[in-house]
Each structure stands twice: as structure tokens, then as C-alpha cells.
Structure 1
Amino acid sequence: MAHSLTKYASLLDELAAAGYRFHPIRDYFAAPAKQPFVYLRHDVDRLPERAVTMAEAEAKGSIRATYYFRCDKHMRFPEAAMRRIADLGHETGFHYESLSRCKGDSDAALALFERELAACRSLVPVDTVAPHGAPLSAASNMDFSTGIGPERFALLGDATGIDFTDILYLTDTGGTFGSPYNLRDRVAGRELPGPIHPVRLAAHVIGQQETRLVLSCHPERWPSGMLALTEARARDSATNLAKRLLQHLRASDFRTRAR
């Protein structure tokens, strides 16, 4: 379920007190960090105003993160939020869903990716990109990431291109860290063995002597105020129910075709 912004701030405070340094994703590709480190990634799927609030809180602590922004089908981005977050000193990137929008057509997806990336760059600098999971779509944008070729688009890299064999990936996809409802935001490497509440996460990674981390959070899931928190939890519950139903339908379809 969703959690309050104060819990996110407390998580960062605990990690900072233990000596962890925070970096945006582009630093992984441009200037590898000294251990212990945390690369901070934020996917802004909706409610960009919550991303601004999170970015302002991080900036007050001299913390820089990466914020990946989606556009709608008309290539419109949340421009005001993007510019504000860039002005705060954070990295801004493109959160693409080209393959799912093109229903699995990789050629059309590549052309769409190029146009949307250019639209994003007309507003803010973009050095790295990251796919949107789109778990309810038949086509997975995760399958598209390896075919982009970052150098073709003057990119440092794709966030999914990080080598997770020795870096622990922590994501709140599905409602909490290590959620069983995370269907697509997975890496070929190290992840949590099961759900861990954010108030226990810092103690877990410190206790396990994890010194190399990527922490991925969706700002919409970390609001301020009880009303917003209740709304965010209700959305998570509805989304997870839809995922469970989709898993059941896909499994049933697979069994039918296998007969």
C-alpha cells in the first residue's frame, strides 16, 4: 500500500546517517559512485504535483534524484512540474511506453520513441530514460529497452541497463518494497526476497551490509496528508486487484492454448 512522504524522508535520513550517498541515475553511467551508495529513481506515472513536493523535500537535504516523466498520447508532458524539478537540480528523464502504445509493433514503437523523446527534450535535459511497466498491456515496454540503442539517441543509458548482479534493486511497484504484485518492474539480478515495510527497509539493508542500492519510488505513492494517503491506498488496492484478475486470465489462456 501507499505510504506517507514523511516515511520516505525518514528512510533517506536513516540511510544517510549510515553513510550512504545519494545519486541520480545518470551518475551510474557517467561517474560511478563510491560505496555505500543509493541511486534514486522516481517514475512519475501520474499526479506530478506530488513529484514536485518530493523533489523539494529532497533538495532541502541536498539530495539529487532522477525523475522520469510520461507523456500522453498527444505528446503532452507535465511541463511545469518538469521545469520545477529540473530547476531544483534533479535529473529529468523520459519514462517511455512506446511498445505498449504501439501494441507490440517494434518498428512503430522506435519511431514513436524518437518523437516523444524529442518532445521531452524540448522542455528539459534528458540523459537517461526508463520504461513504464504498463502491467495491464499485452506488450511489455521492458522488452523494448534492450533494442533502443542509447548512443543512437545521444543518451547515457536506460535505467534498466544497470548491472544488478551486484546492486540491490528496491522498488515500491505493487504498493511496497518487495511486493508480490510487481508484475513487470523486475531486474535480472538482485531483489528483495519478500515484502518489507519502508520503516524497516533501512535496517534491513544496513543489517545485510548492502552497500550498492537502486531505490525506485513512485511519488504518487508517497503523499502528504491523510486524505491523499487514503486515496493512494485505495488506488493501489484497485490496481492490485486488476493485476490479480489479469494474471488469472492470462494463466487460463495459457492453459487453454497448451491443451
Structure 2
Amino acid sequence: MSIDFTLKKYKSLCEAISNCSYTTLTFEQYFSQKNIPINCILLRHDVDRNIENALKMADIEYRFNLVSTYYCRKTKQVFKPEYFQKIASMGHEIGYHYETLDKAKGNEVEAIKIFEEELNVFREFIEIKTACMHGNPLSPWLNSNIWKKYDFKEFGIIGEPYISLDYKNVIYLTDTGRTWANKNIRVKDVIRNEYNQKNNLLIGNISTTDDIINLIKEEQFPQICLLAHPNRWHDHTINWIGESILQNIKNIGKAGIVWYRKNNW
């Protein structure tokens, strides 16, 4: 079996999508269009660290006539407007990957102020129509909880994937933890509603990208949201090994957090 989580493997995934009847949509398109294609895939990328790798993935998608959404953090590593513009020029969407409750240490008033300020900085360089929360497993706050008090539409945001998607109809697949399967290492990146269990039962025993490719080829599920973090996908051996070691260490910690919260909250 070939090595997983390489850009070469991601290319195979994109090729499989392009050869099927699925249409790819950005989240802006999905939230704004009245008539959504029956078979569609929402390719989502949370750019947590590696904007350079995001550009490589965007180029692969572009070569297969696919579009996707890149949610970018307001950090020194990620906030590089020249990359945003290159990615957007290929037809992809740039979204805002907010973490304002974390930055405000739970203060909602300060958090919404940070949200507006950072959003405005993004908009100096690129159009932003959707936003998606960043989940820090070590933080006690869930960034999307800010919308229990405020309305993101007041800031010109038309949708938030964790809130606005109808997961009754959309199958959610994520590479969190550098695996497509292990739910016990997902601290924040989970569907928090009654459809979570249904989603898990439907996708069955999926763990590798080849499993995802086979699922897509079967075209069993009309609508799929597929999250791939650019920093997890490398062709260079040293980078691939480094990311693998880092992720394995983090997964041990996240598994402990999940266990603790299940047994103490």
C-alpha cells in the first residue's frame, strides 16, 4: 500500500473526484446558491500553519478543475496576502479561520471586537464571505460559541460550516489527527448534534485516503464535506516524517483530553 497523506496521494483523491459525477463547490457557493447540485463535494482546508502547502494543494485542485475553500488564521505563519490572492485566482475561496474566544481568553465582548478587527484586515486584501472556527484542543473555549450571543451575518458572513451546514444531508469526513477515522482524538473537530452518530455509522470503517477514494467512487452519498489540513500532507520525506511524529505525540495528548472530558464533564 502506498504512503498516505502525501501530495501525490491528494492528487489521486482529486483525480477520483474529477472522474465522478460530483460537483465541487466553495462554501460561499453552497451557502448562496438556491439550486445545489444533487451530487456535490465541499472541499475544506483549515490552514493552521502551512500556507505554502495550501498553495500546492490549490494548484492540484485547479489542474483537475475543482474548487475548494481555504480557511486561514490571522497568524504570522498563515497571514500572507500574496498567497491568498494566488489561491483565489484559481477559483478557490479564502475564508477566515477565527479563534477569537481563545485570543480573548473567553471574554465575549473582547472576542467579537477581535473578530471584526481581524476580518477587516483580511478584507483589505481579499473578499471574505464565510468563516470557520479554529479548534485548539488545549483551550477550554469553543470559538463557535461566540455566535450564541452574536450574529455573524451582521459582519457580512453568510455561513459558518460548523453551524450553517445541514448535517442531516451532508456526510462529514476529516483528516484530524492525520487519520480519517479515529474519533477518540477529536476534541473540537466534531459535529455537535444528533447527526454525529448517524454520520459515523454511515461512513463505516474509514481510516485511509484510499478508503475515501473508494467511497467517492461508489457515489453512495450525494453530499460530502471533506476537510484536509494542508500541513498534514507532504511529499518530502523529512517533512512527512516530522509531521507524522508531531501528530502522533499530539494524538496521545488529545486522546487523554477526550477521555477526561467524557468521564468528568
> Does the alignment reach a TM-score above 0.5?
yes
2:249 maps to a residue whose letter is A
Q: Distance in 2 between matches of 1:158 and 1:172?
A: 19
Q: Distance in 1 between matches of 2:78 and 2:215?
A: 40
- Contact residue 142 and residue 184 of structure 1 kept, 8 A: no
Q: Distance in 2 between matches of 1:33 and 1:52?
A: 27
Q: Distance in 2 between matches of 1:7 and 1:76?
A: 24
Counterparts of residues 194-205 of structure 1 (less than 5 Å): 194-205=205-216
Q: 3-state SS of the aligned residue for 1:94?
A: strand
Q: 2:125 — aligned with what?
A: 123
Q: Distance in 2 between matches of 1:143 and 1:45?
A: 20
Q: 1:196–1:124: structure 2 CA closer, same or farther, 3 Å change rule?
A: same
Q: Distance in 1 between matches of 2:42 and 2:98?
A: 20
Deviation at 1:249, TM superposition (A): 5.3
Counterparts of residues 149-160 of structure 1 (less than 5 Å): 149-160=151-162
**Residues 1:226 and 2:228 aligned together:** no
Q: Distance in 2 between matches of 1:212 and 1:251?
A: 30
Q: 1:46 — aligned with what?
A: 49
- Contact residue 186 and residue 258 of structure 2 kept, 8 A: no
Q: 3-state SS of the aligned residue for 2:122?
A: helix
Q: 1:185 — aligned with what?
A: 189
1:50 maps to a residue whose letter is N
Given candidates 89, 92, 108, the residue that maps to 2:91 is 89
**Aligned-residue RMSD, C-alpha:** 2.3
Deviation at 1:168, TM superposition (A): 0.3
Deviation at 1:251, TM superposition (A): 6.1
**Residues 1:63 and 2:61 aligned together:** no
Q: Distance in 1 between matches of 2:121 and 2:205?
A: 38
Q: Which moved more, 1:82-91 or 1:242-251?
A: 242-251
Q: 1:61–1:15: structure 2 CA closer, same or farther, 3 Å change rule?
A: closer
Q: 1:98–1:91: structure 2 CA closer, same or farther, 3 Å change rule?
A: same
Q: Distance in 2 between matches of 1:162 and 1:250?
A: 26
- Contact residue 98 and residue 109 of structure 1 kept, 8 A: yes
User: What percent identity do the matched residue pairs reach?
Assistant: 28
Q: Distance in 2 between matches of 1:154 and 1:205?
A: 33
* Matched length: 253
Q: Specify every segment of 5 or more residues in structure 1 that has no aligned partner in the other structure, as ranges.
A: none
Given candidates 246, 258, 262, the residue that maps to 1:235 is 246
Per-residue Cα deviation, 1:108-149 (whole angstroms, up to 9, x for no partner): 111111111111111211010000011110111132345442
Q: Specify every segment of 5 or more residues in structure 2 that has no aligned partner in the other structure, as ranges.
A: none
TM-score, reference length from structure 2? 0.87
Counterparts of residues 238-257 of structure 1 (less than 5 Å): 238-247=249-258, 250=261, 254=264
Q: 1:35–1:104: structure 2 CA closer, same or farther, 3 Å change rule?
A: same
Q: Which moved more, 1:133-142 or 1:46-55?
A: 133-142
